[in-house]
Structure 1
């Protein structure tokens, strides 16, 4: 017993030491046991066991560790069932000779014979190498012919369905589009009303097609077409999508369906007085050039002097339709553009040089000229005389408005052919220049009459020339007396002649210059002359006012208020400039620098229209001593009459009426006035203009009717006038648009003077008979130049200063701004709207569904939220509700029974809910609509296919379709393909890849190791030596361990000798006869 304990302790110690060594050895970084014991003969080394082992090739058993020694393969008794093992020479293999009833490589399979099988229903058993096979009669199947007649043989399934035999009959797997027990019913996919927005559903086999309305798209017509996607609107317009249409919201200045047209802002003819309208984008401008007006609309009369048309510092004076240039002395012409060449007549004698005073460049260079140039002193000339000679001195007449004259007594006779000449300079349009006579007879008279030369000889007619000499310039005047003829010249220009008897100048005759001693006789010929006269010559004889020698004593004149030289009067002493004008003195004249808004030589005229006295919509019109505000008024036929009345200061004869209008009314009143017995009516009757008048001095009613119709909506200009305005009674004439024929009355009547005397004048809305108030436009009516202004006494503007006026009595305001053309000509109304011309603008009558000034806005019928359980889609004059699931009706007000059109098949129960319905399947059916037969998990099938999942795959349904779910390592529709994990060449360093199920194994070269042969073993030779030593030590320890174990076993055996041991009998493995036992048949499944 003590020995036994010692043995157990020794075994425990040796085992513990061996395990400690193995654990320490297994901690090496690289396991190289297979490299240390190289397997021979094309065997494979395995290091997965506790020690090295070689799996030898070409045999099912292992030999010795390195497959080097040819160990007997039958050594391990591989054959089962008491079979005989036979070693195959040279092949390191074996062959099992099986006893009867067994087969297989190691006789592991028991053979079943027909004698032990039972083929049913008359099936014949046929023995194959392993098990019997039953050959079944017609109508039966199965391993033992246990299945009856095949119900699918008669093809009970229709329309391409697949028949599947089952335990309880057969099942039909329908193709899409059919249903029913035998797939005989076509599925109506349109029953569920899948098409939206009133689309048409077309049922087809296994599917449906939606024919969408024009405005929708998509599989189910669920998407509305966006007509604005193509960006059809131009010029920055905004596109608004509507159902089946779109409309463009045009920016200001554009119109048209696509805003492609620029609005013609000039269509209304906003530019007045012939101004040129230039159309722009949302604007216009008026070019008033050459119109004579200025302002935004060329409404303001532009003073012609603004352009400074006068030259040489002349003063410009505006008149009603022209201007006048007041030239400085020395200049002439319409615009004072011409220098008067006073030197043309060669006034300087004896070789003297003539220099004009208007020659500005000569100043500062000639001593005889003033020190500086001055326009007031720029008239005349100076003579630069040769040494020893001087210029003749001028005589000044009428200085400071005095009266004077000069008398020359002739000391010799000059015969009947002689010439008298002189230089004359004056601003006064009248005055006696020359008279030649003796004590008893007047020979000739020359004077100024309205600035023109006049000449008269007793017994002859008067000669008046057309040229004006009273311009402040010096003019050379000559009279050539010839027999029977007297000629008059201005410089070298012949101004005319008069016939006269021949007469001679005798000694003792007298020449009067500038006037006569007899004042009355002087006044008869223009009065006393005011100005300068110089260098009087009788033939070649000089008549000097101030002789500088006694040689001319015989011609010593008698001078009365005649002064030496030619100075001018200071005309500004009397302050001639009005309205604050500044006076500048000229030679015998003045010039006023007028303040703004005044005109005239003395600033006596006020330019009223420059003061902007009228409202913005009116045009200022100048009239004598005042102004009027002119505009076109708009009448609406309802309570818009305007009452006028004279202010009692009208003195002129009222003999005509002028006005313009446009209307579409066939019967309407325009103007009405009456005061017994006077009566005036202007109206439209039966589309024609009617004029009726009875003056207060006549017993007859005058009536005129136009030839043409005047209610066409365009402007018509009318003039009604007396044919003889100076007569007490006259026929009247009607002119329409200045087109012939003019209508003239057959009877005569008086004027319109009864309108002066507190007579009420109604304009626009005074009903007469069957006529009604005016609906249209009416210009400002003018009666003999006096306007019936619509802006009488407007607050904040200038009151009219003229005396003669018709006053506006009505207090109601007047609508102005009537257009010249039909406002609808530009087609401003969109989307089929009807345009109505309201004269000052337009009005659009919009169709249903549209609103806005131009019918440009689509009315949002969804604004009131009519859809109760749905989304509202706006349309033109309508709306459409897209109902939420479960609701229907025009306004989505009704719940839907979703099961009314359900597609649940094969007796399934429909269950309705808010978003649709679901099918509760009956029996052995499954799927969304219970159309699929429920099959085992490994069998996948539908209406088209019937297949089996291989390689352990499971059948599952994904998105309504049955598919095989493959295990790792397999793929394919039936999981029939093994995935080749070696396809990616995962092994490194020349390792050989071996494909396994869902994995791979690398067979490495001797110098490499690792899962992918990625470890290089060249650096581990030292560790291999220690591994070898360790292996020898382990072998010695193992031998010692086995010796101890053997000793223990021997000791135990001795203890049991001579006794019976049942375990021993079991351990020895006594044979038992097994031939009478039949193994259970293998499980099969028929597909």
Structure 2
């Protein structure tokens, strides 16, 4: 045995007491050794090994450090584990079975049950269902046998599961035998046919027949016999011993129904008879002690006969059956007959031992093919008449039908009378089929002379029965529905029982009485019209298949050819069961189409009508309501309901009764939602009565003074209602029928209603000319108008419509109405739920409930109705004086400002003069890249800190004078004065004289103003101090002119290039200098140093 796992138990001897407790050692000094394996502690065949005599085993775990430790270990066989091998390893936990196989855990192993019908048509076998089975590859089984492949010792094979009637390795043998009713089949038994092992004294067969009496099997010799037969359709088994007691077994089930039934008979200490099939699907069993002495086996009989005996009496006498009455021969089929373990076929029978027996089962009984056509039961009661017909069918194949009698056709009244001819009828069964739609009418009356015995009639659509001296009986189920119902009556001594559709409705006690000759059965009515009315009136409908016990009471005997029927007296009873033409009176209204039914009619109404006769208009089918409203049917009309949106102080919607309201107004219902802590909902007033429904301090408030009450009834909701949620509200009188009673308020049906302590009347004052203000109040409203949603208000079930009668649509036809008299239109479409409850705003947007919709306040970078659109930060051009570039975050952008501008959007013009350094009263001129100093008087330089020319000062105590630009201050008689140098003028010599003002340059030369003088810049063709020389003329000799002209031309070209360059530089410089104007500077006479603009201080430079 292979060692899979070693489990061990170590028992250490730490002290003598421990040794004693574990019984490892014994004796006063613990000197005696006790063998631990003597008690066989290892289970499941495990081997016990003691540790002390053998020391340490190699199989112990390496962590064990006690080589000489006492104790024992168990070496377990495969499939087991545990200290004592007590645990069975679940080999199925690893799911070894493949291809759909089912694993079954066994002690020490497992087995796989492979499926017999693989979904792919492939069969698997082997230990783990991993081998493909090929035995059934060629479908070897015949006659629709089931092939089961297998694999044994590496070889593929198959086994055939044969259907009933076939046997053999490939189901090739036919085991069905057909008996014609005039033959037999003899089977040898006894020593000549030794039974198969384990199957001795056993008979099994299947049979099919529609004959109630027949012999199936007989076995016997001179001393004993066994007989299996059908008697009255039931299976009987009799076993007898000569001069001894016999045994009779039977199974009380009908087997002559043409279906297959399986029978097994076994003999041992007891005799067993079992039947399977038909009514014994789960098996029927009968047993009795064996009658054979000493347990004698019946398989010692010499012969067995199936289906009958051979002709003549000699063979019967030899069998010891001379005193047995002859049984009818079997007519039908036997199948899969096995006697003492041997299967019986025609090939296994000796020649001459069978008569009128064939292979197969081509016989068809009289019930084959449903001869009764579903109108009866095939019972084969007598030859030629196999059908037991259901009412009202009759005749061969149940093709005929008892003729019905029609009562009350087209409004007539009548009855049928059947005089009886038999006497002394005690147990009476009376039945008939009834069809009617009238809820009342007499069905049956039994009358003896002038005495009424039994009455059966229809009352309120249900059966009723009455007998003299007994209380009446009423049925529970309606019968006046136009369908056919079975009604039967059972009369026994002292009791009369009523049935409807085979279900008992009860019985009444009645004195014993008998039907005598001359008694009369009345159907549908009585000759006395007044007496008929006392019993439900004349019957209107059909009565069919009337039976008194086994006799048919035919209304029209000649129509069925039944001579046994009584000749009735018929008054206004017609043949058949036609219905009245109910459409003749044209009952359908509003364009409905009438369709005649049996004693009834059906109106096919157009879409706008409803009701039995289309008398009710279905107004909502005409779509009378405007968009946004829902049509709601009301009695004799419709209403358009919607949820209105109110916006605070937008004015009230006013309603008034149309003057036709007659009902009592005892309740108000509506729904609303708002976030207002104070708002008016409804107000109506007609002195001294008034009604007020409002919200105060977030609670619903109700005030009413009406009727004769002098007190004001007040109710307040216990819970706040200004939460923006929808609330359903009902105000109602506690006693609507009282002249005055308390009122109750119910909000949302969640909390108990709030009841008032004060009584008040109804809302009858609203029926008159009382204006009902909804959503606000005409004057004196201190609570404010409602802002929120308000559903359609109902007062006493009458709506306050937000919509008037729309042009081109139907007006409300109902008589009782409230009318909207205010001209202001009402906005509808308010949502019952908070518009923000579904969180419609995306990307963190804030949702605002607008009652009929929602509004999203989007975060930076998002836009759209739901903040679903990402915003481009540079749209639409936020940088006023600069270039925009989008940043990483949503909607973020960065402006790169043009020179001279600053700010987030380059919207601020830069002022470089805020911290300028211009001195001596100079004026700061701000430019794009910096600023410049406009120097006054005699100052110059970048910041006007340098004197232009020496200045002189003179004067006296009254006046002093400063002369600029090198002017000489001189004391004159008139006072001090400045004597200016060349090129300067003015009182202080502060003005630079413009020598170019007189235009001294000729021929288009440009004048340049210098100090005290000027300079002319001449064109290429002129020269001279004032450009007065024309170089193109002949004033000079040719050679001189040529040399001079060349030199002059080169000089002029050089000067022209320098002038152009200077002009371009000046233009560029001026283009960047902000608001500076050189022409203005020249006009004002002051000088400014423009050659070098002063930039702002380094720490304050704008970017």
Q: TM-score, normalised by structure 2?
A: 0.44
The higher-RCO structure (CA 8 Å, 6+ apart) is 1
Tell me which protein shows more strand as a share of its residues: 2
TM-score, normalised by the number of residues in structure 1? 0.44
Rg comparison, structure with higher value: 1
